[in-house]
Amino acid sequence: MSKHTKSLDEYIATATDNIDSDRAVAGKLLMDLVTALGQSTDKYKHKEFGEVASKYLETLQRSNEQLVKLAALLQRREGIQDSLSDKEKNDIFDMIKENK
């Protein structure tokens, strides 16, 4: 291994930084688009802006998926249990019963 090879922790930190950066940019662009759409009187802009907005939302969704994958990787690495405990299952069941 060369001394320039990154460790898993370094890759995770880089990925997390990239995810945060991508989310910030996509969020800002989406808010700018919503503002522009609110100021537009051209009803055809909704279709055009909607297509662009969907791309920004896809970016946000992909970053969510990446965060979930990173969390699962860290859980596996740290040996954290994937399933719910009996208490958690019972708590969820109780909440369901209360809402009926």
Q: Residue 28's pLDDT is what? A: 93
Domains of the chain, by residue range, sit at 8-98
pLDDT at 14: 87
* Closest C-alpha among 52, 67, 76, 79 to residue 19: 67
Question: What pLDDT is attached to residue 96?
Answer: 72
CA distance 73 to 58: 22
Nearest to 16 by CA among 66, 81, 54, 58: 66
Q: 14-65 pLDDT, tens per residue?
A: 888 888 998 899 889 999 988 888 887 777 777 788 888 888 888 888 888 8
Q: Would you give the distance in Å from CA 81 to the centre of its chain?
A: 22
pTM above 0.75, yes or no: no
pLDDT digit string, tens, across residues 73-89: 887 777 766 666 778 77
